[in-house]
Amino acid sequence: MTTEPSTLPHSRDDSVGGSRTDAGAARRIDGRRLLWAAGVTCAVLAVVSIVPGFNVHQTPHPSASQATAKLSLPASTAQPKQRETSKGPRWQTVVVQAGQTMGGIFSSLNLPSTVLHRLLQHPEAKDSLTRIRVGSRFDFDIAEDGAFRALRFERGDAERVVLRIEDDQIVEHKQQRALEHRVMMASGVIENSLYNAGEAAGMSVGAILEMAKVFGYDIDFAQDLRVGDRFDVVYEEVWRDGARLRDGDVLAATFINQGKRFEVYRYVFADGRTEYYDQDGRPTKKSFLRMPIEFARISSRFSSARKHPVLGKVRAHRGVDYAANTGTPIHAAGEGKIQYAGWKNGYGRTIIIQHAGNVTTLYGHMSRLGGYKTGARVRQGDVIGYVGQSGLASGPHLHYEFRVAGVHRDPLKVTLPKPQPLPRNELARFQSQRAPLQAQLSRLAAAEPTTPTRG
């Protein structure tokens, strides 16, 4: 696979590697489309912001045969006293808009609030009707005379609920809906971005993102990706009533990055819990994130001597700087306990986290702290603060330090002990789950990259 370097998109983000020296193999890839992939925790939000207007969860309505009316409503607001003897249902669909409440929806449909109150008294209905989300849909069956007859909505992926007035009582009908997990397979070779390669392989944005996520601890998609890198992936799609409902899990995948091969397999424990492991049964999830921040570029690396941008003196830079906009969230690189939260001379607003294994991480120059006090426990990925330029900083950036037993180490290079593999009994179970997936991956690897096929 060869592509002229000149055809590669070049963005400002690509200049991250301005100081890189491994230029030979290093054809940098469009960082903009890939940055989102580097984030593990806020990944779903990222899709929304990177691909505006692309609604990952847009699903065809199961009962597509019924006409959908928007919120435009019967012109007559006067409600005839007499109820018409109803024939078939007259469903009207409401898709929740930002800022809308169920009360507002009822009044826009000219339905009396007493009906809503009665519905809310119905056990189990309350949650669905009070915690409504933008984009969710409710179908109302309203008689020609304007009287409420029924309300229908989805609860979870697999249940549809109808609340219907029957003999002046509200009766709940539940309908279980069968979900189908379809196994898909796809392969791709990187020509300019992971996004484009995944799209060319017919994968949805969500599926590409899931794949990036399972490799997110090993591959920094903003910096490490190269032309010619290849992936093979077996993943699920969730279908309902003959229509694709949403993206499912990655079941297995290989990624060859700069000649280095990474494999991940989803393992389902006996209790249904799932985690990802490599071919030897070692967890792919690491104790520390590759980057404590998303959508950032490295503006200064770890070095023993550099000219300080504010002080003008040559001194060691014992951390990594990530340039990012003020307010960009900063994530705890690993699980631990807040050792320090507050102002720390030249570092400005600072958090220090104490981790297991005598490791501490430091995050400086924050515009504000994330609300964790000294002594609080944090999990990996928790937002501990926001990018700023407090203290001695020439512009908004995160200054990140990594210390082992009090000694500064380069966070980009430090190697940590490999995590322990699954215990013996689980390992045997894992390997038997892995065998058929590995066979599928081998078949994919032997073939030319194609569009997804049912597995």
Residues that bind Zn ion (CB under 5 A): 319, 321, 399
With respect to Zn ion, which residue has the nearer C-beta, 216 or 319? 319
From CA 301, how far away is CA 351, in angstroms rounded? 20
From CA 259, how far away is CA 305, in angstroms rounded? 33
From CA 273, how far away is CA 128, in angstroms rounded? 26
With respect to Zn ion, which residue has the nearer C-beta, 319 or 388? 319
With respect to Zn ion, which residue has the nearer C-beta, 155 or 315? 315
From CA 157, how far away is CA 49, in angstroms rounded? 25
> Exposed (0-12), middle (13-18) or buried (19+): which is 115, by Cβ within 10 Å?
middle
Nearest distance from residue 321's CB to Zn ion, in Å?
A: 4
Nearest distance from residue 46's CB to Zn ion, in Å?
A: 25
Nearest distance from residue 386's CB to Zn ion, in Å?
A: 17
From CA 338, how far away is CA 347, in angstroms rounded? 16
From CA 252, how far away is CA 190, in angstroms rounded? 19
Nearest distance from residue 317's CB to Zn ion, in Å?
A: 6
Gap between the terminal Cα atoms of the chain = 26
- Asked if residue 205 lies in contact with residue 43, where contact means CB atoms within 8 angstroms, the answer is no
Nearest distance from residue 403's CB to Zn ion, in Å?
A: 14
Run of H or E residues at 437: helix 424-446
With respect to Zn ion, which residue has the nearer C-beta, 225 or 362? 362
- Asked if residue 185 lies in contact with residue 138, where contact means CB atoms within 8 angstroms, the answer is no
Nearest distance from residue 13's CB to Zn ion, in Å?
A: 19
Nearest distance from residue 140's CB to Zn ion, in Å?
A: 57
Residue 429 three-state SS: helix
The closest of 350, 330, 355, 329 to 340, measured between CA atoms, is 350
Polymer length of the chain: 455
Task: Provide, for the chain, the percentages of residues in helix, strand and coil under a 3-state DSSP scheme, each rounded to the nearest 5.
Answer: 20, 35, 45
With respect to Zn ion, which residue has the nearer C-beta, 362 or 384? 362
With respect to Zn ion, which residue has the nearer C-beta, 319 or 452? 319
DSSP 51: S
With respect to Zn ion, which residue has the nearer C-beta, 254 or 299? 299
Q: Count how many Cα atoms sit within 13 Å of the Cα of residue 321 in the half-sphere of its side chain.
A: 21
Residues 6+ apart with CB under 8 A from 122: 163, 170, 172
Residue nearest to Zn ion (CB): 399
From CA 384, how far away is CA 167, in angstroms rounded? 55
Nearest distance from residue 319's CB to Zn ion, in Å?
A: 5
With respect to Zn ion, which residue has the nearer C-beta, 348 or 370? 348
With respect to Zn ion, which residue has the nearer C-beta, 319 or 334? 319
Nearest distance from residue 380's CB to Zn ion, in Å?
A: 22
